[in-house]
Amino acid sequence: MDLGLADRTVLVTGGSSGVGLATVRALLDEGAKVATCGRDADRLARAAEHSGAGPDRLFTAVCDIRDTAAVHDFGTRAADHFGGIDGLVNNAGQSRMKRLDETTMDDWRDELDLKFAGVLNPLAAVREQLRASEQAAVVNINAVLAKQPEPRLITTGAARAGILNLSKALATELAPEGIRVNSVCLGLVDTGQWTRRYAAGSGLSYEEWQAELAADRGVALGRLGRAEEVAYAVVTLLSPRASYITGTSLDVCGGVGRGIL
């Protein structure tokens, strides 16, 4: 099926690794043009080089999503470069592994800032361009954690729940502007987030460690997900073929979610 993404432009935050990188690649495969950012210039340059896409298809900028002015500059330059923006994927970020008693007020502020700025800064930067597009769509990368709290991720879970609520509100607020907004909620996906934790040391091979992790967290499919499996869902929601889908949240989690909503 042709997803109708050829020559559309999508801005993906955090496209130098993991889910963001897989989404950039999937969009390029669909013939879309992509703008992406990250904080580490070398990693971003390596990702761009490996994609094989030239500047006519891929625009990159070093930018921290918490920095409103920098994100505005990135969005403006990307829109000027490609002549518009049709889609936005708010993906950049990471989780904070802490329990309540290990968490300071600064941790709470930092986590809420990262999660909310990660959606609101890029949206503000490209909202005008999205409004001008005939088929505008936003996908917010979230986590099943938003609906299923875990003590060991207390700040991230609370922030994720807020982002899920915000996504729903944005779907209603932006519908009159022709902008659809949906969420993709991840379970455990094999990316830098987990390789960094494995590097912290366990004595097991990475495969053994992953299998134990999946069992411990009750992943029905018994394994971590792959970034490409998430990218497929993201690209589908960005597609004009999904033109009647807004305000929804899609779990890509291998069955780790226990709720029915």
Ligand X SMILES: NC(=O)c1ccc[n+]([C@@H]2O[C@H](COP(=O)([O-])OP(=O)(O)OC[C@H]3O[C@@H](n4cnc5c(N)ncnc54)[C@H](OP(=O)(O)O)[C@@H]3O)[C@@H](O)[C@H]2O)c1
> Would you tell me which residues interact with ligand X (CB under 6 A)?
13-14, 16-20, 37-40, 43, 64-66, 91-95, 141, 143, 186, 188-189, 191-193
- Whichever of 137 and 230 has its CB closer to ligand X, that residue is 230
**Least distance (Å) between residue 168 CB and ligand X:** 18
Q: Which residue is nearest to ligand X (CB)?
A: 18
Question: Is the Cβ of residue 41 or residue 175 nearer to ligand X in the bound state?
Answer: 41
Q: Which residues contact 17 (CB under 8 A, 6 or more apart)?
A: 38, 43, 47, 191, 192
Cβ closer to ligand X: 66 or 133?
A: 66
Closest approach, Cβ 2 to ligand X, in A, equals: 27
Closest distance between ligand X and the C-beta of residue 156, in Å?
7
How far apart CA 88 and CA 230 sit, in angstroms, is 15
Residue closer to ligand X (CB basis): 71 or 242:
71
Torsion of CA 44, 50, 53, 54, to 10 degrees: 70
Q: Of 84 and 93, which has the nearer Cβ to ligand X? A: 93
Least distance to ligand X from the beta carbon of 44, Å?
A: 7
DSSP SS3 for 10: strand
| Three-class HEC string of 104-155 | CHHHHHHHHHHHHHHHHHHHHHHHHHHHHCCCEEEEEEEEHHHCCCCCCEHH
179-186 vs 249-252, strand pairing mode:
parallel
Nearest CB to ligand X, comparing residues 133 and 141: 141
Cα distance from N-terminal residue to C-terminal residue, the chain? 28
As measured in angstroms, the least distance from the Cβ of 15 to ligand X is: 6
Compute the least distance from the CB of residue 200 to ligand X, in Å: 14
